[in-house]
Amino acid sequence: MIPGPNDELVFLPLGGSNEIGMNFNLYGYGPPDDRKWIVVDLGVTFGDLTTPGVEIILPDPTFIEAYAEDILGIVLTHAHEDHIGAVGWLWDRLRAPLYATPFTAFLVREKLREADLLSQVKIHEVPLGGTVQIGPFGIDLITITHSIPEPNGLAIRTPLGTVLHTGDWKIDPDPLLGGPTDVAAIRRLGDEGVLAMVCDSTNVFVDGFAGSEADVRKALFELIGGLKGRVAVGCFASNVARMDSVIRAAQANGRRVCLLGRSMHRMAAAARSVGLFGDIEPFVADTEAGSLPPDRVLYLCTGSQGEPRAALARIAEGTHPHVRLGQGDSCVFSSRVIPGNEIPIRNLQNKLADRGVRLYTERDHPGIHVSGHPCRGELAQMYQWARPRIAVPTHGERRHILEHLAFARDLQVPEGVAPRNGDMIRLAPGRAEIIDEAPAGRLFVDGNVLTPENDRPLRERRHVASNGALMVTVVLDGKGRLAASPQVRALGLPGDADYPLAEALDDLAEDAREAVEALKGGARDDDSAVQSAVARSLKRAAQRVWERRPAVETMVVRV
Ligand SMILES: [Zn+2]
Ligand SMILES: [Zn+2]
């Protein structure tokens, strides 16, 4: 294919650049007024203490939704939530066919089924190492290694050059499940010429290599072989190779394996769907595991990040219906602490320790976990194989992306761009540069409603969480006179022996009464005038009583 005179190749991340999570990348090809697009990955990120009640956060697709008929396909590199988690939420707004390898497709189908979309979505299942042509984009899947089955890099060929979109990767010489990184394919691509490499930045601050799942298997065999009593192991369910190692270590020591947590069961089913786990002994149900002798059972659990409703949290709380751990039992954390989860993990571990459970973590047993992302040694290796003209670091916070860009310069990569979500980068023709800015933002999944980031309800919830709330009822008669004393109720506000809460609320009711009575006759006919007068007066009063500013909600009832 010969490029047209005005054709451009652009890269536009709408998620995943300047953050680790919520990957949502776009490639556009064609003249500026008639681009065809492909989407690479459609993931979520997770809420934290600053987003009370919001657990799932999505990239805002508004910009590209306007060009939905020009989206030719959505290509998914691998099945981690930060790459596929938003498919069920956002597919309806993009409506393009999906491309994924079988393991990823299995999990995506489940998401679409839950979203009631399965019958509408065309899923092209692509074999590992396969090739697909999507409009002007010819895409080769390149097998890489990561921390989940079937991770793929993408060679995206266009008439203006080839982009190597690495996806999440590391160089694991022995990944246990699946093949090693297809170095030959990457070298061949390098020989043909790589215009740009869009690459994982997660571990750019870590020297050396991430390490192999095979070494973790050895360490887990050794550790689990020496344990007495009940053993629980926490790890990411999506790391099926890790699950496999734990299961085999248990079997080698005469322990039956009991899976605890929904995602453990889901991932086991996904693994079986692609022919994994064929030769392992059947799992034992949690209802039966308790009657096995303690050193004949191993629990493989969700919740290694301290997630409040996951299996490990319930065991630590003593609220799991079937599983108890105590003195003489062990809990192995075959996982790292994801930044932001330090406090819940510490709380979880303290509770387990308090039950007498012995803890084994990556900190004191460094061999029991390895990262799935490339460290500097691996990045250097990849740049050497692919030899791109342009480095485009993604999958990192700002500091990761800038450090990665500097590292690429040190490695003699001629050009580089450090994207922020919304930056439209022209990769060809000419020098790579940011040519436009697209609106990029986040959507919060608040209950069952999608809301803009930090919209009013969440701001109110944060305010109430730290300041409490007052509810006032004002009853007025037909002439605008108070028909009863105002009623004040408090949420989340304290009282003490010197000034009990009931007394404080009576005083506040008095303040409300004065505020209404101070209004001129006409203003009392206007609900909003009454509400704001009462709110003003109660905020002042609350300052006096509690030295804080609770939310004030005034109901005006007319009889
Ligand atoms: Zn990943
Ligand atoms: Zn990722």
The closest ligand to the CA of 148 turns out to be: 1
Closest of 419, 439, 441, 407 to residue 11, by C-alpha: 419
Q: How far is the CA of 23 from the centre of ligand 2 (A)?
A: 7
Q: How far is the CA of 242 from the centre of ligand 1 (A)?
A: 14
Closest of 379, 442, 446 to residue 416, by C-alpha: 379
Phi, psi of 58 (to 5 degrees): -115, 155
Residues 477-511 have pLDDT tens digits of 988 899 999 999 999 999 999 999 999 999 999 99
The closest ligand to the CA of 82 turns out to be: 2
Q: How far is the CA of 21 from the centre of ligand 2 (A)?
A: 6
Residues 112-150 have pLDDT tens digits of 999 999 999 999 999 999 999 999 999 999 999 999 999
How high is the pLDDT of residue 499? 94
- CB neighbours of 460 closer than 8 A, spacing ≥ 6? 551
Quick one: average pLDDT of 102-119?
A: 97
The closest ligand to the CA of 22 turns out to be: 2
* pLDDT for residue 71 is more than 80: yes
Please state which of the ranges 70-79, 82-91, 199-208, 513-522 shows the lowest mean pLDDT. Answer: 513-522
Q: How far is the CA of 168 from the centre of ligand 1 (A)?
A: 5
Domain boundaries, the chain: 8-208+371-452, 213-360, 468-558
Fold of 468-558: Ubiquitin-like (UB roll) (3.10.20)
Rounded to an integer, what distance in angstroms lies between the CA atom of residue 147 and that of residue 238?
Answer: 8
Q: How far is the CA of 395 from the centre of ligand 2 (A)?
A: 7
CB 206 within 8 A of CB 116: no
How high is the pLDDT of residue 521? 73
How long, in residues, is the chain?
A: 559
Residue 174's identity, in one-letter code, is: D
The crossing angle, in degrees rounded to 10, of helices 87-94 and 102-114 is: 80
How high is the pLDDT of residue 48? 85
Residues 167-198 have pLDDT tens digits of 999 999 999 999 999 999 999 999 999 999 99
* pLDDT for residue 543 is more than 80: yes
CB 351 within 8 A of CB 314: no
How high is the pLDDT of residue 522? 85
Residues 26-63 have pLDDT tens digits of 999 999 999 999 999 999 999 988 898 999 999 999 99
Q: How far is the CA of 395 from the centre of ligand 1 (A)?
A: 10
CATH superfamily, region 8-208+371-452: Ribonuclease Z/Hydroxyacylglutathione hydrolase-like (3.60.15.10)
Quick one: average pLDDT of 273-285?
A: 95
What band does 1 get if pLDDT is binned at 50, 70 and 90?
confident
Q: How far is the CA of 78 from the centre of ligand 1 (A)?
A: 7
Q: How far is the CA of 23 from the centre of ligand 1 (A)?
A: 10
* pLDDT for residue 199 is more than 90: yes
The closest ligand to the CA of 41 turns out to be: 2
Residues 527-538 have pLDDT tens digits of 999 999 999 999
Residue with tokens 């396969």: 130
Q: How far is the CA of 247 from the centre of ligand 2 (A)?
A: 25
Q: How far is the CA of 235 from the centre of ligand 1 (A)?
A: 15
Closest of 116, 123, 29, 127 to residue 73, by C-alpha: 123
What is the H or E stretch that residue 243 is in?
Answer: helix 240-252
Q: How far is the CA of 24 from the centre of ligand 1 (A)?
A: 13
Rounded to an integer, what distance in angstroms lies between the CA atom of residue 240 and that of residue 151?
Answer: 12
Residue 164's identity, in one-letter code, is: L
Q: How far is the CA of 436 from the centre of ligand 2 (A)?
A: 25
Q: Which CATH architecture has domain 213-360?
A: 3-Layer(aba) Sandwich (3.40)
How high is the pLDDT of residue 299? 98
CB 16 within 8 A of CB 82: yes
The closest ligand to the CA of 21 turns out to be: 2
Q: How far is the CA of 84 from the centre of ligand 1 (A)?
A: 10
Is the sign of the CA dihedral 310, 316, 322, 323 positive or negative?
A: positive
Closest of 290, 295, 355, 286 to residue 326, by C-alpha: 355
Q: How far is the CA of 82 from the centre of ligand 2 (A)?
A: 5
Quick one: average pLDDT of 376-385?
A: 98
How high is the pLDDT of residue 211? 96
CB 195 within 8 A of CB 162: yes
Closest of 391, 430, 410, 407 to residue 194, by C-alpha: 391
The closest ligand to the CA of 236 turns out to be: 1
Quick one: average pLDDT of 196-206?
A: 98
Quick one: average pLDDT of 223-250?
A: 97
- Number of H-type helices and E-type strands within the chain: 16, 27
Q: How far is the CA of 418 from the centre of ligand 1 (A)?
A: 20
Quick one: average pLDDT of 368-389?
A: 98
Q: How far is the CA of 143 from the centre of ligand 1 (A)?
A: 14
The closest ligand to the CA of 372 turns out to be: 1
Closest of 368, 369, 349, 366 to residue 358, by C-alpha: 349
Q: How far is the CA of 286 from the centre of ligand 2 (A)?
A: 31
Rounded to an integer, what distance in angstroms lies between the CA atom of residue 303 and that of residue 314?
Answer: 9
CB 268 within 8 A of CB 228: no
Write down the mean pLDDT value for the chain: 96
Q: How far is the CA of 104 from the centre of ligand 2 (A)?
A: 14
Residues 464-476 have pLDDT tens digits of 999 999 999 999 9
* pLDDT for residue 339 is more than 90: no
Q: Which two tokens stand for residue 551?
A: 């939310």
Q: How far is the CA of 383 from the centre of ligand 2 (A)?
A: 19
Q: Which two tokens stand for residue 326?
A: 């105590």
